[in-house]
Amino acid sequence: MTDTAPTETASTETAYPLQFSLVPSTDQRAEADRESILADPGFGKHFTDHMVSIDWTIDEGWHDARVTAYGPLQLDPASSVLHYGQEIFEGLKAYRHADGSVWTFRPHKNAERMQRSARRLALPELAAEDFIESIKQMVRVDGAWIPSAPETSLYLRPFMIANESFLGVRAAHRVGYYVIASPAGAYFANGVAPVKIWLTTEYSRAGRGGTGSAKCGGNYAASLLPQMEAYENGCAQVLFLDGETGSHIDELGGMNVFFVHGTDTLVTPRLTGAILEGVTRDSIIQLARDRGMTVEERDVTLDEWRLGIESGEITEVFACGTAAVVTPISQLKGHGISIGDPDAPAGEITMALRQELTDIQYGRVPDRHGWLTRLDA
Ligand SMILES: *Cc1c(COP(=O)(O)O)cnc(C)c1O
């Protein structure tokens, strides 16, 4: 490294950490209203009293970090996000431990993934320190919204949009980053139940060189039509094959998939660039290795799945992601295809991995990998 003089050009880099200002909401929900929401929060239905906003412009970089009342954004109808979909998001949870303290799980992973998503969508990167501070700010101001019943949490949704008023097609010169938060009930209120999933052979969610590994709204928009087909066929989620050959498994619309072979091997599709690199996926791989299991990240064909179920070699199939943690899959259905038994119970290894992961997240067992970050101190 050689010493270089500081440059005085207009820079997209702003000094950080950013300082957040707070203008408290004058319209906060009464405690009784909040408690009745927290008693049955559902998922993504109710939002807390505040939100975080940070502005970015090409001339000033990131600036004006603030916590304000939750409320509608003012967007010019020409805002580029409304026309060209330049948008990314993240999803993570704040967990209340038995002693009342509040923690989140591997937030640096989300911060770094958001930076990768930003690069792919030609959006500016937010420093990991600022990302994590934005989460802490939300918890500081709306900590009372974190439920404490088992398997409940506060779901945190950071997102970034292009909001320059300009219809020319190029990366926007004006961007907003926001965090909203929503209390989340236990995903499986009546115990973890295996789900059926729908195989779409007609539609892809990602292609070679596309945005499959970025967490962007556009990928979800592309998944909604096949997702409707899934619902119509009694399935909870849609499974996508790779866009190039249509022969191997990519992932679900919003979750990664795993196969248990026998009792000691875990197989999951390798990260091809078309698959979203889940934090849960990465954590499950680590926990399986800790248990002495062999983990293979490789191509998995549809034929391997079918033959593996028929021969008994594949003993369990599950999906994973932050929202539902780990979800057993009983059956794959599609036009002229059925793999597995819709009445199959949740697998033992599936449930053990789920238990271990949630035990770490809720502080019920030691955090041996240093995965937790305290948010309220
Ligand atoms: C967010 C997401 C996942 C799961 O990622 P986690 O970090 O485990 O929550 C999987 N697939 C897609 C397409 C996603 O958007």
Given a cut of 80, whether residue 7 has pLDDT beyond it is no
Mean per-residue pLDDT, 47-57? 98
Q: Is 280 in the pocket of ligand 1 (CB under 6 A)?
A: yes
pLDDT bucket at 190, cuts 50 / 70 / 90: confident
Q: Is 257 in the pocket of ligand 1 (CB under 6 A)?
A: no
Give the fold, CATH level 3, of 20-188+363-374. Answer: D-amino Acid Aminotransferase; Chain A, domain 1 (3.30.470)
Instruction: Choose among 243, 181, 239, 259: nearest CA to 207.
Output: 243
Torsion of CA 168, 172, 174, 180, to 10 degrees: 120
> 31 C-alpha to center of ligand 1: Å?
33
pTM as predicted: 0.94
Indicate where the chain has its CATH 3.20.10.10 domain(s): 195-345
Q: Taking all residues of the chain, what is their mean pLDDT, rounded to a whole number? A: 94
Q: Is 321 in the pocket of ligand 1 (CB under 6 A)?
A: yes
> 258 C-alpha to center of ligand 1: Å?
13
State the Cα–Cα distance between residues 234 and 53, nearest whole angstrom: 39
SS3 310: helix
Ligand 1 probe mutation, 187, 276, 277, 357, most atoms within 8 A of CB: 276
Indicate where the chain has its CATH 3.30.470.10 domain(s): 20-188+363-374
Q: Is 90 in the pocket of ligand 1 (CB under 6 A)?
A: no
Q: Return the residue whose CA atom lies nearest to atom 6 of ligand 1.
A: 278
**Domain 195-345 classified CATH 3.40.50.720?**
no
Phi and psi at residue 83, in whole multiples of 5°? -110, -40
Given a cut of 50, whether residue 361 has pLDDT beyond it is yes
Q: Tell me whether the omega of the peptide bond preceding residue 17 falls within 30 degrees of 0, making it cis.
A: yes
* DSSP string for residues in 179-239: EEEEEE--SSTTS---EEEEEESS--S--TTSSTTS--HHHHHHHHHHHHHHHHTT-SEEE
